[in-house]
Structure 1
Amino acid sequence: MSGRRVVSFPSSVELGPVLAHLVACRAAKAISSHGRFSLGLSGGSLVSMLSKELPALPQLDCSKWVVGFCDERLVSFDDPESTYGLYKNQLFSKVNIPDSGVLAINPSLPVEECAEDYTRKLKETFPQEDIPMFDMLLLGMGPDGHTCSLFPGHPLLEETEKIVAPISDSPKPPPQRVTMTLPVVNSARCVVFVSTGGSKATVLKQVLEGGEGPVLPAALVVPTHGELLWLIDDPAAASLTLQVERPGPGAKL
């Protein structure tokens, strides 16, 4: 797989600042190239990591950022399960991303209409592109190998027409969600997975090195023209036999 980099850090403590610097550098590059930086966010441990590390960067200017969500749970914004709500409270309140630059779902709509509404927002934000091309997507991976709200064995893995799809039977609660589909994920200029902790070691080996059984959703993320980076820590990398990069202290990607 050309273009894939697997980079391991001693722990998430060392990983976090490198991720923040990578985001800021790609933002500056995108703004210089085409006037804005489009970023897709995921929930989980990424929320606290980014909320700690991005505001700590000196002179970070997010005024030309456009931020969307790789998936979202269909709950109210004040629900602790809301990815938007978590970022709003922990990150957006600390940086100068304009309100107009945050693409959030409308959680008051039924799940099918919510997906259609979010699709419309993406199409308005990326009017020149049949499939939105984000500058960077930040993804996590569940212990079952799912990413976004694309779960093993689910029909949505085969979706090729929709850019945002509803899901009403998520095996992980809450059951109703909307998610970017694989065509959008694989159109991004840069996809960064962040996966840490020893509990991810077995599934990470299967995703990165293959093995018995069907291909897991995270392994289906293969950007068509973009970069793919896996940022992991040593506990998550414990079972890998492939060569991984191990940058020294203070290194930048």
Structure 2
Amino acid sequence: MAGALIFNDYKDFCRQAAEHIQAILNLALIHGPRCSMVLSGGLTPEGIYTHLAENSDDFDWKKVDFFIGDDRCVPEDHIDSNFRMIKQSFLDKIEHRDSQVFTINQSLPPEEGARDYHLRIKEYLENNSVFDLVMLGMGTDGHTASLFPGYPEQYERASLVLATQKEAPLKPFHRRITMTVPTLNRSDHIVFLIRGGDDKMEIMNKVLYPKAGEHNNYPVGLIKPQKGRTYWYFSQ
């Protein structure tokens, strides 16, 4: 696990992260005809998606399979929907087929939607082994995706996807559907994209540089790719 790249300027953060993400995808396509990426929601990656969409004319996005790492249990056009943000800032701006995008069926009740997504991901991974790239953020409480400290979902090791048993402890207070720790760890490369202040910096440093005998319960510390590397990008 390498240290973090720290940026004072969000635009530089977005440009560097986007270029790195595209390099990972290009490398994956050297070794196979298709590749995959798990997309993160929240506010932080929006600028990265925009940069990817506007600066990749020579990249064939039709060779990439897209997954949503987690989302709130709201309709896809809802203001709080991760998919809505990803679609508007990224997917609507690149050439791709609808069949490339694996989304959560929000028309189903949360548990059924999670089970449906679990089955589709299970089938995909049976044929493709791992995700080439997973993008993740981190909250001020150390949560990542919709895995919150103290919530049972962070301890799940059997299901690939779960619906949270209760509403998230942070705004907006929706129930959520999320990939679990084992699913996120089935990846070649994980890129953490973090934007915030000293509180997030402190958690990131505790995960990156743990002290002897010190234990923490941050879900973000459970994310470790099976085969590849983890990269950390931080912007003030």
Q: Secondary structure at the match of 1:135?
A: strand
* Partner Cα separation in structure 1 for residue 21 and residue 49 of structure 2: 13
Q: Secondary structure at the match of 1:126?
A: helix
The code of the aligned residue for 1:110 comes to P
Answering whether residue 109 of structure 2 is matched by residue 110 of structure 1, we say yes
Q: CA RMSD in A?
A: 1.8
* Partner Cα separation in structure 2 for residue 154 and residue 112 of structure 1: 16
Tell me the alpha carbon deviations over residues 107-162 of structure 1, each in whole angstroms, 9 at most, x when there is no partner. 01111110111012212323336xx5110001000010000110111222221111
2:18/2:49 contact within 8 Å kept:
no
2:44/2:194 contact within 8 Å kept:
no
Answering whether residue 195 of structure 2 is matched by residue 196 of structure 1, we say yes
The code of the aligned residue for 2:229 comes to E
- State percent identity of aligned pairs: 32
Answering whether residue 126 of structure 2 is matched by residue 135 of structure 1, we say no
* Residue in 1 that maps onto 2:180: 181
* Residue in 1 that maps onto 2:225: 223
* Residue in 2 that maps onto 1:148: 145
The code of the aligned residue for 1:90 comes to S
* Residue in 2 that maps onto 1:56: 54
The code of the aligned residue for 1:226 comes to G
The count of residues paired between Structure 1 and Structure 2 equals 230
1:1-253 equivalences under 5 Å are 3-57=1-55, 58-128=57-127, 133-169=130-166, 170-172=168-170, 173-199=172-198, 200-210=200-210, 214-233=216-235, 235=236
TM-score normalised per structure 2:
0.90
1:40/1:138 contact within 8 Å kept:
yes
The code of the aligned residue for 1:87 comes to I
1:41/1:70 contact within 8 Å kept:
yes
Q: Secondary structure at the match of 1:157?
A: helix
1:11/1:196 contact within 8 Å kept:
no
In the alignment, structure 1 segments of 5+ residues that lack a partner are 236-253
1:5/1:228 contact within 8 Å kept:
no
The code of the aligned residue for 1:19 comes to A
Q: Secondary structure at the match of 1:7?
A: strand
In the alignment, structure 2 segments of 5+ residues that lack a partner are none
The code of the aligned residue for 1:50 comes to I
The structure whose residues are more often helix, as a share, is: 2
1:213 is displaced (CA, Å) by: 6.0
* Partner Cα separation in structure 1 for residue 144 and residue 103 of structure 2: 19
- Structure 1 residues 51 and 225: CA distance shift in structure 2, 3 A: closer
Q: Secondary structure at the match of 1:150?
A: coil
TM-score normalised per structure 1:
0.84
Q: Secondary structure at the match of 1:107?
A: coil
* Partner Cα separation in structure 2 for residue 213 and residue 28 of structure 1: 37
* Partner Cα separation in structure 2 for residue 70 and residue 14 of structure 1: 24
